[in-house]
Amino acid sequence: MTNVLITGGAGFIGSHLTEYLLSLAQEVYIIDDLSTGSINNISHLKSHPRFHYTIDTVMHEPVLAELIDICEVVYHLAAAVGVKLVIKSPTRAIETNLKGTELVLKWAARKRKKVLLASTSEVYGKSNRVPFTETDDLLLGPSYKSRWSYACSKLMDEFLALAYWQEKKLPVTIARLFNTTGPRQSGEYGMVIPRFVK
């Protein structure tokens, strides 16, 4: 049995990952500030003996450090997400994504924990080349369009994760997610598919 931490564990992806890891007999800890996640996504898990949740932000460093200390693997999903939210609150999106990732990597490196960093297909920007590859040059839009702040913040998260690997040998994996969809996904923050379905 492995102890795992999922940041953003009450979100759409995080709650499904939680269920999956519990089905594999893992001990699952989540932290989520419910800014875009929902307690409804995890309410059915509250009585599960191997499920533990903390309602707090990943930027609350003492709480985050303690959770990372008791886990072997960290799935870092916590982020400001959704085009609508990013355009409405670009400062919050940038700070949440950069600072949250910085703290997760810092404490994971100190404790020698494995990290999976959730990134996004948005980092490919305006590329017309298909299929995308990780070695492609990237072309993003102008900085005055706040839409690109999300892509830039997630790209900086990737740079930081790779720097932690290079300098501190932190075992980190980056996953660039495309349009994920399924039960419990909300269109409230601008997610495309649930908005079309609604």
Domains of the chain, earliest start first: 3-197 (3.40.50.720)
The tens digit of pLDDT for each residue in 1-13 reads 899 999 999 999 9
Mean pLDDT confidence for 75-88 = 82
Residue 100 pLDDT exceeds 90: yes
The model's confidence at residue 191, banded by pLDDT at 50, 70 and 90, is: low
The model's confidence at residue 186, banded by pLDDT at 50, 70 and 90, is: low
Answer for the pair 176, 161: CB distance below 8 angstroms, yes or no. Answer: no
Residue 59: per-residue pLDDT: 95
Mean pLDDT confidence for 177-184 = 81
Answer for the pair 70, 29: CB distance below 8 angstroms, yes or no. Answer: yes
Question: Distance between alpha carbon 3 and the CA centroid of its chain, in Å?
Answer: 18
Mean pLDDT value across the chain: 91
DSSP-derived 3-state class of residue 44? helix
Give catalytic residues, as residue numbers.
150
Q: Pick 58 or 184 by higher pLDDT.
A: 58
Mean pLDDT confidence for 73-92 = 84
Q: Which two tokens stand for residue 8?
A: 């953003």
Mean pLDDT confidence for 92-104 = 93
Residue 68: per-residue pLDDT: 98
